[in-house]
Structure 1
């Protein structure tokens, strides 16, 4: 009994150490994004739709680098389980190379052909013009974001989750303050509208990158290596990492394309529908931050144990995370349902948008436990064990066999309102949880990837 108590205490202590900073970081991010959306919403429905659709392009980019870093974090966690600092730095180097290359490509499109990019999301000329102006500026932040992502994910992989939380909080606060001054022209600042929001975002991301690098090297933690150490990986090492992370990157790209198609489908319904979903999605992101924190903690803790060769402990930890996630998901969903009316009423938009956003949030409330479970099972458990192909199949089947077809049928064939289309899309979450849990119980997801890597 005493050993079990020590075992549980150690588990919960480590979980809280990793999960809470990630939760706080995502809570701050989502809260300030909601404030940003409220600010931009005061400019009008066209402006909020333009920024929402323009950010779909950033969304695709962010998921590419999320895929790279999420895939690499499998190796980081397992190497750190062996306390292999040298290879942890090599993995960070691969993240930086791939992330910066991706950032450069997206930067070229966003900065030099922004209207061309916007035409993929809407045919509303006013929204295209406004969104193009926003993209032209914010595109320069993409490489900077890639560097921040690489260092932040590596910090979490070695259990240093507080640093990304602190730097992200400062940067996001900076973004919100600058938004207020540059969007509305407070004091001697010019009134720049959504271009002001883009400038604020660019400055905030520069601040975040600078902080995470400076603090990492000042503290001299495990990832604070020389450039030569980051680039010291061999061709075989690189190939092994790429072979594993490629399905993760493809998963995130296809997932982001699916989310983008949803945005296009909502735009097909109406510009108000886009604004409605943008508001509802921003609000519900605040309520699922616990899921992100738990998925990150799960990925690191299970990866560490697998790296040490403790496969049975990894299976036990996985079950603990599933139970904790479902309980927290139910509590969070109830809170969202209760508070949705009050939160949406803060937005100064048309009554129709307010009504539909409230309905969507109530739908989100019921889906929340399953969305959080999906995140923990796919990202936290299956990927941490190197079961990349199966997690890919489960994720993609949900989107492309269930979500996208139902969205097309609901909006374009049956002409249903936005909130019913959203409800149809989220049927996929139930299916992914069922198949993900079945794979977890089989124990076939566990694989030590770093045993013979040098």
Structure 2
């Protein structure tokens, strides 16, 4: 693939994915801005309660990455039936996890909030948010798998349209239900949660209905009840390390919120806004990683290993450039954010210095997201990410963060600096692993002999998975 063709194809994937990620991050931003207008405690409470959705998204991200890894390669090979099988059994798994989070937050919200903070005002606000938003886990668990399949089968733009429309609706409902506009009751924290439920419900219905159109991958009851055993083994072989990686990274990241949550409401509020801005800024970098994973996966599945290797090289260059630009952009807009942030003077001072720390963090985040989450996973090289993130977080930054905060009693900003070292610490190891090229593998070839001997699927033709 020529460089011009590569960048054109990559851009067609990156832009919709990055825009979709940006729109999703806007929901968190709108919650912070609108609830911050009510009180700093409301902002902090919802931020901490939102850590449960963050942990849930770790599972969804792992399922989606495993789905993308195989679906992209099978789609590049022209095997749409296998993609339909993947949709069915991943959807079943996602629903099971969604039910656990739904009932967990509905029945045990106080226990969840006590884990993150000891301040009663934050606990009470978080309980309200968790109970109202509990059903959104089920809706999200269904819609995100459908949207993932769309991205990998040539419908990334439609996936973005559905997701972005739901986000716009969420933003509008946030304003209406939080402040009581147009005759609606002013519900505050409960309004923010209800807005999320309504928007997620519409997103789910739209995604499912769109899958019924001609040319789409459809849900199949037969594959849902009786999954393809060979494909299922292949999926979990590569997805379990991804899930372990996501949980190791995400739970470690959640520990950051636990540390900051016990350092006062000013630290919680500043950290909440810093994370929201960081998530908004990193969207294009995530788009490069996710879009690049699909592109590399298509090349690998089609057997074009040399082209896949060249694509990986181009992606790494773009990741470095994107990370630097994003970090500089954050520094440029930080004075504007500080001007409009409704924070106490102490929280505002924290936030000013947190933005400086975030600027270098974004460079490492861009590179690691593109390599570990994009290039490596496209070729099934998933164990490295599990080992790398587990060691970095649980042997370095999390222990150092707890020591700095609770034993050495360092100030808030020093602790925050330590907690944001993870993406920088692992850069040398990630680069060394990339140069081994162990990720340049065609995963579909390994199952071919077994798939030929497996029972024949119930289809009318070779394209029956698409209708």
TM-score interval, smaller chain: over 0.9
**Distance apart, 1:160 and its partner CA:** 2.1
In 1, Cα distance between equivalents of 2:225 and 2:73: 20
1:243 aligned counterpart, secondary structure? helix
Task: Report if the CA contact (8 A) 1:18-1:159 is conserved.
Answer: no
Task: Report if the CA contact (8 A) 1:18-1:160 is conserved.
Answer: no
**Residues 329-359 of structure 1: per-residue CA shift (max 9 Å, x gap):** 1111111101111113212121111121121
**Residues 131-175 of structure 1: per-residue CA shift (max 9 Å, x gap):** 011100111110110111101111122232112211111111111
Of 2, 22, 26, the match for 1:27: 22
In 2, Cα distance between equivalents of 1:73 and 1:100: 18
Task: Report if the CA contact (8 A) 1:402-1:425 is conserved.
Answer: no
Alignment correspondent of 1:192? 187
The answer to whether 1:38 aligns with 2:33 is: yes
Matches within 5 A, 1:250-261: 250-261=244-255
The answer to whether 1:303 aligns with 2:322 is: no
2:115 aligned counterpart, secondary structure? coil
Of 366, 371, 376, the match for 2:370: 376
**Distance apart, 1:36 and its partner CA:** 2.0
Matches within 5 A, 1:318-337: 318-337=312-331
1:383 aligned counterpart, secondary structure? helix
Alignment correspondent of 2:160? 165
Task: Report if the CA contact (8 A) 1:179-1:197 is conserved.
Answer: yes
**Distance apart, 1:449 and its partner CA:** 1.9
In 1, Cα distance between equivalents of 2:422 and 2:348: 26
Task: Report if the CA contact (8 A) 1:90-1:231 is conserved.
Answer: no
In 2, Cα distance between equivalents of 1:402 and 1:240: 32
TM superposition score normalised by structure 1: 0.95
Of 77, 83, 90, the match for 1:82: 77
In 2, Cα distance between equivalents of 1:171 and 1:44: 26
The answer to whether 1:153 aligns with 2:148 is: yes
2:209 aligned counterpart, secondary structure? helix
**Residues 13-51 of structure 1: per-residue CA shift (max 9 Å, x gap):** 110110000111122222342122110111212211110
Task: Report if the CA contact (8 A) 2:87-2:219 is conserved.
Answer: no
Matches within 5 A, 1:2-401: 7-218=2-213, 220-231=214-225, 233-401=227-395
Task: Report if the CA contact (8 A) 1:262-1:404 is conserved.
Answer: yes
**Distance apart, 1:75 and its partner CA:** 0.6
More displaced stretch, 422-431 vs 87-96: 422-431
Superposition RMSD in Å: 1.5
In 1, Cα distance between equivalents of 2:153 and 2:36: 40
**Distance apart, 1:316 and its partner CA:** 0.9
In 1, Cα distance between equivalents of 2:162 and 2:233: 32
Instruction: Say if 1:230 and 1:450 are closer, same or farther in 2 by CA, change over 3 A.
Output: farther
More displaced stretch, 36-45 vs 417-426: 417-426
1:120 aligned counterpart, secondary structure? helix
TM superposition score normalised by structure 2: 0.93
In 2, Cα distance between equivalents of 1:369 and 1:19: 18
**Distance apart, 1:236 and its partner CA:** 3.2
Alignment correspondent of 1:438? 432
The answer to whether 1:424 aligns with 2:425 is: no
Gaps of at least 5 residues in structure 1 are 1-5
**Residues 363-421 of structure 1: per-residue CA shift (max 9 Å, x gap):** 11122121110100101111111111112111222211222022112211232233322
